[in-house]
Amino acid sequence: MLRERSNLLKTLLALNLRMDFSKELLWEVNRFELGYEYECKTDELFEKGNWLMIKGLSLSRRGKFLVQMDLLVLTGDQILLYEEKAYTHPVSDCLDGTIEFTEGGTRYTHPLEQLREAREYLEIIMERLNISLEIDSYVLLTHPNGNIYNLPKWTKNVLIQSQITLHVDEQMRKRKPPTSLTAKYHAQLSALHHDMSEYNSIVPKYDYHELRKIVKCPQCFGVINEIPRGKKLINCPCCHEQIVVVDIIKLAFEDYKMLFKKTPTAAEMFHWCGGVFSKIRLHKTLYG
């Protein structure tokens, strides 16, 4: 099953172009979206293994976000925990638990630190749930240009993109196939998922009346100004992909629900889409 974007990313994508984002926020959105695309690609590499996967497990405690685990692979004898980073160019290890993208630039938490933290939480949870599997954990640099310079020599669990396929093959040979107990663990861990990302403070304040009433391409999220009456397929003016018109309506519908936490009526959808679709068409597609 295809991994879903986090609610935070969905919210930001829904707002983008309906309002003006600062350069910094736009950079964040693009970074999240790129991360998501590479997570999907990495999932594909792991899909061929005989094991169970949890894609993007987000944990909270007492209404506070705790930790995000990008990928968990459950086998018969081990749980593999992965922290994924889609760095588009090499970063440097500052040797103090941080990394920097450019020399002297802003320092960010080292992915190995994030991995360590995620692993600690996982150990606590597994103990609580009585799950007795060993944990093995890795940082995956999923973009082909990603690397971490200056890593201590003994670092074993950071894999660059070209090593991931080999790693997956190796795990397929070494790991035991899942059992009914593994399936039980999978269900127990999946049940803990709680997406808190919508509470993230980087989402700007928004108001229905101030948002632009437009529709967007479900492939590239570019604005589509015109859709000929009765057409079922169109070519997106931004990415030039062939797009099913119903999917454009569905995206606008999902965006509305994500932003306003309620299901819009046909009249509300007509207004939300800026009159691009007739009320009849919206009614047929969404409520028919």
The footprint of Zn ion (CB under 5 A) covers: 217, 219-220, 222, 236, 238-239
Q: Which CB, 251 or 259, lies closer to Zn ion?
A: 251
Q: Which CB, 95 or 239, lies closer to Zn ion?
A: 239
The answer to whether 3 and 36 have CB atoms below 8 angstroms apart is yes
Query: At its nearest, how many Å lie between Zn ion and the CB of residue 237?
Result: 8
Q: Which CB, 219 or 285, lies closer to Zn ion?
A: 219
Q: Which CB, 12 or 236, lies closer to Zn ion?
A: 236
Q: Residue 137 pairs with which residues in a beta bridge?
A: 81
Dihedral sign (CA 187, 188, 189, 194): positive
Query: At its nearest, how many Å lie between Zn ion and the CB of residue 240?
Result: 7
Output the CA angle 77-131-50, nearest 5 degrees. 35
Q: Which CB, 112 or 215, lies closer to Zn ion?
A: 215
Query: At its nearest, how many Å lie between Zn ion and the CB of residue 243?
Result: 6
Query: At its nearest, how many Å lie between Zn ion and the CB of residue 29?
Result: 16
The answer to whether 155 and 28 have CB atoms below 8 angstroms apart is no
What separation in angstroms does the CA of 60 have from each of 4, 65, 89?
A: 18, 4, 31
Query: At its nearest, how many Å lie between Zn ion and the CB of residue 203?
Result: 24
Q: Which CB, 25 or 238, lies closer to Zn ion?
A: 238
Query: At its nearest, how many Å lie between Zn ion and the CB of residue 217?
Result: 3
